[in-house]
Structure 1
Amino acid sequence: MSGDGTTAEDDPLQTAVWRLRSRACWVDAAALLTPATPRAALQRASLLVERCLYTEAGWEDAEDALRTAEALAHTDDERGAAACERGYLAYAATLFQVRDRADEARAALGRAAALIAPGAPGRPLLDFRRGLIAENLTRSPQAARAAYRRAHAGATAHTDPLLLSATWRHLAGLALREGELTEARHGFAESLRIREELGYLVGTAPALVSLADTETEPEASRLREEARRLFRLLGGVPTWLAHRLAPPETDAAMA
């Protein structure tokens, strides 16, 4: 969820990595990074873990990259960041029913919390991922909301727009479940705006679909059709969005 490579001040390598990442080319982006330093190894692992979340594939590559990052980590911040990625990968494997690694996910994020100091740049991402576990594994929306709000405040303080788009999206999702349509629409709209401004194409289709869920016709259909266009453009990524983008007649035939 790092915002590396999103501004004009970033070096050419980070800009190239960002452009590939935003277009669902995680393997190509990772290939640009030589895991010779803790930072490069961690960024490479992060890219390949993110690939798992969007494609439900590449688990072994992510594991290998993560082990390298863990071996190179020396400071508390580096160890904490690697533990955060370990927890995220275990969360993804559990979410997609590859293997139940929920206990590992909680333990790894707990370890990260002990290593990453409050107020450190890596803390908001950790808070966000703890919110994901609370929402999707523990089924505790109150705990999830509290974690997302901490992450939201931290992303604002540390100027991490991509993470901010994620916290807007997930807070809006909780609001929608509680029937708070206006709050949900605002959050989804903010998430979409940020992703479009960043050029984060791979995350734009999910944002369009979420906003469509809060809109009336014909706007809802327009948003979903734009999401379908992006989904096809990126080769069917994210994979888990496919059923949300099925044409109405397909939905009816499968009912």
Structure 2
Amino acid sequence: MIGAGFQLDGALGEGTVADTAMRKSGLTEPWGPKGPGPQDGPLEHAVWRLRSRACWEDAAALIAPRAESDPGAARWRTAVLVERCMFTGGGWGAAEDALRAAEALATDDEERGATACERGHLAYAATLLGVRDRADEARSALGRAAALLAPRSPGRPLLDFRRGLIAQHLSDNPSDATAAFQRAHAGAAAHGHGLLLSFTWRHMAAMAEHHGRLADARHGYAESLRIREELGYLVGIAPALASLAAVLPDPAEAARMRAEAARLVRLLGGVPAWLADRLAPAPTRAADG
């Protein structure tokens, strides 16, 4: 668990353990400037360090010069800003502006499909977090992405995952969600998308928990946590800890994990915002008198 191979004391420093783990793991992540695949340049690593520590605005600023003319970089910047929306519940205007700029730069079906996938995810996030009901837009955009992306496109696993999110959270269709997450998981493994694998493990575990298969849920949540630790994805570790704690049979171990999750949320300034509220201690009542 946390602390085994991932040193929190240096987690907010420059590079070091997290970057080494990302390189040595053989795991790549699907939100880089050229779409899915390995991202080994200095800009990519600088952006990764900032993203993983909840510094999305700074990460987007680093990408901005390249994003002015490069469709992949524009889409990468959009993904970073949409991620900020998901974790903080804010920044919607900046994400929408970045997305429109990325759409304007897309020139072929692969680029248009990948950008439509980002539009679908932004609309999904706004709906899920109660900002505005954009469920129809989310479904339409992801459907457009499915029509544009080639069957063997490396962007397909991410699309499958996001369609699974729609089925899980907006359509209340567990069977479709499970099938989509399984397709995304297989694709993420085939393409070596490490961060996406952590998300597919997490959501397959949620489906298992939904169906009462707690052993499978524990396994999936533990795998999600392991990958996030290996990649140094600090901002995603607290949600992984909290989810695993919810299905552990040992109350003491579960309490320890929730406490560690709360500490990480405080370390990162209260993100994820939705988790901060869940982990906040219950207020104590003053005695009557």
TM-score (norm. length: structure 2): 0.84
Per-residue deviation, 1:176: 0.8
CA distance in structure 2 between the partners assigned to 1:9 and 1:106 by the alignment: 29
Residue identity opposite 2:166 in structure 1: I
Displacement after TM superposition at 1:177 (Å): 1.5
State the shift of 1:147 in Å. 0.3
- The 5-angstrom pairing of residues 1-255 of structure 1 reads 2=30, 4=32, 10-33=40-63, 34=65, 35=67, 36-215=69-248, 216-247=250-281, 249-250=282-283
**For residue 144 of structure 1, what is the amino acid of its counterpart?**
A
Letter in 2 for 1:75: D
**What is the alpha-carbon root mean square deviation over aligned residues?**
1.8
User: Cα distance, 1:252 vs. partner?
Assistant: 8.7
Question: Partner amino acid for 2:231?
Answer: L
Preserved CA contact (<8 Å) 2:88 2:273: yes
Mark the runs of 5 or more structure 1 residues left unpaired by the alignment.
Answer: none
- State the Cα distance separating 1:250 from its structure 2 match: 3.2
Distance 2:117 2:145 in 1: 6
Q: CA deviation at 1:96?
A: 1.1
2:251 is paired with a residue whose SS is: coil
* Greater Cα radius of gyration, structure 1 or 2: 2
Residues 43-84 of structure 1, C-alpha deviations (whole Å, 9 max, x = no match): 001100111111110000000000000000001110001000
Identical positions, percent: 66
Structure 2 runs not aligned, ≥5 long = 1-28
Aligned residues: 251
**How many Å separate the matches in 1 of 2:31 and 2:115?**
17
Whether the 8 Å contact between 1:3 and 1:163 is mirrored in structure 2 is no
Answer whether contact 1:3 1:160 (CA < 8 A) is retained.
Answer: no
Structure 1 segments of 4 or more deviating over 6 A?
none
What is the TM-score with the length of structure 1 in the denominator? 0.95
**Alignment CA distance shift 1:76-1:171 (3 Å):** same
User: Quick one: higher RCO (CA 8 Å, sep 6+), 1 or 2?
Assistant: 2
Q: How far, CA to CA, are the matches of 2:102 and 2:91 in structure 1?
A: 17
Once the 2 structures are TM-superposed, how far is the Cα of residue 142 of structure 1 from its aligned partner? 0.4
